[in-house]
Structure formats: structure tokens, C-alpha cells
A and B are shown apart, each in its own frame.
Chain A
Amino acid sequence: NAGVTQTPKFRILKIGQSMTLQCTQDMNHNYMYWYRQDPGMGLKLIYYSVGAGITDKGEVPNGYNVSRSTTEDFPLRLELAAPSQTSVYFCASLGDSPWGGEQYFGPGTRLTVT
């Protein structure tokens, strides 16, 4: 049982490039989330999904897109990367009880945009 996996672990992008951060969970969880963590700051929610085919914006969605075609996968797309998107990105999933339930986090992707 791998839990939540993320690829890549590290990536350096040039300004204006695009990339997809991959996230997969093997726990059959309906809820999935993307957060970003900036230095000295807490995590901020980018997008979330309550099930396959259903996504919605979080607190900081600008510059990102997501899709959820399967229960397992929740990729995050960066179009036209900007230095402000330099951050550590965490994917998380949550089981059947969103009320007070535990979120399981992946190991993160450290992205640098130069």
C-alpha cells in the first residue's frame, strides 16, 4: 500500500514553460487536494476534488489547472510558469469522512521557476 505518491520530486522550469505534477493514491479515496507551501508559510489550497469528474478551486488557483478522470489520479497542470510559482507542492487524499477525517499527504514536489 503506497498511499499517496507524487512525481517528480524536484523540477526546475524556465519562465513560460509548462509541466504537469502527477499525484496518485491507492486508497480509493474520493477527496483529493493540491496545496502549495511557501517558505515560512502554511499550506494553501490550490484545487480540490470530491470525486472523479468533479473539481473546484481553492484559495490560490490562478495559474493552475486540474483534472480528475479517475479516482486514483489528480494531476496538477502549470501553464506558463512564473517565478511566483516556485514552491513545494503537496497532494493529499481523504477517505469517506470529510468531517474531521485525516488527510494523507504525498512527499511533495519541489518546483523552482527561473
Chain B
Amino acid sequence: GNSVTQMEGPVTLSEEAFLTINCTYTATGYPSLFWYVQYPGEGLQLLLKATKADDKGSNKGFEATYRKETTSFHLEKGSVQVSDSAVYFCALSSNAGGTSYGKLTFGQGTILTVHP
């Protein structure tokens, strides 16, 4: 079956530090990969996505590259801000068997705290 593994958290950084959150996956078919973010007290919202190998998703200074050879989709940001404090989820949607109903498989989430 499909699975997503994220680096163990939580992660605590100072403002302007470099961020990496690791994500690896196992999937059948050709999955689409996503990063969702959950701010305190809110639902999840899409941060970025990539739908095929070597694609790079980017948004709000965050980037992630779909690496099929290493089955990874690591999230990076060059300079984090206090406002980036949130929970980050890596997820995939697989089209195994030729059907895709958009069902998401999530990693366990990584709590990011950024201090001034």
C-alpha cells in the first residue's frame, strides 16, 4: 500500500534560519506529491505540489522537488519567519490501477516553531 514518512519532529528554528523537512514515500502507480500546512486552530491548506518526477513545486518561498529515484519530496525554505510556525504534512495521491479519486495518504506531520 501507499505510505508517507516524515522526519521526526518537532523542529525549532530561529528566524532567518534554513529549513529542511524530509519526506519519503512508498506508492504504486505514479503518485502526485503535496505539502499541506496547518496553522494553529485552522484546517489544512495546500502549500505546494508536484505531479511528475523532477517537477519542483514552490510557494511563499518554500520549495520541494519530486525525486523518483530516491522516492523523496523534501520541503525547504531558505529563510524562515515567525509566521511560518505551523504543522507541515507531506502527502501523496496515487493513481494505481488507472483510477484516481484524489484520496490522500498523509505523513505524521512535523511541528515547526520559529523564534524571533
Give the B-binding residues of A (Cβ under 8 A).
4, 31, 33, 35, 40-45, 48, 50, 56, 58, 90, 92, 94, 98-108
- B4 on the A face (CB < 8 A): yes
B32 contacts A100, C-beta separation under 8 Å: yes
A50 — nearest CB in chain B belongs to which residue? B101
Shortest 7 CB-CB contacts between residues of A and residues of B: A42-B106, A98-B102, A105-B43, A100-B51, A100-B32, A105-B44, A102-B46
- Which residues of B have CB within 8 Å of A94? 102
Given contacts A42-B89, A105-B44, A31 and B106 within 8 Å (CB-CB): no
B103 contacts A45, C-beta separation under 8 Å: yes
- B95 on the A face (CB < 8 A): yes
Given contacts A98-B100, A100-B32, A106 and B43 within 8 Å (CB-CB): yes
- Residues from 88 to 113 in B contacting A, C-beta threshold 8 Å: 89, 91, 93, 95, 100-109
B104 contacts A102, C-beta separation under 8 Å: no
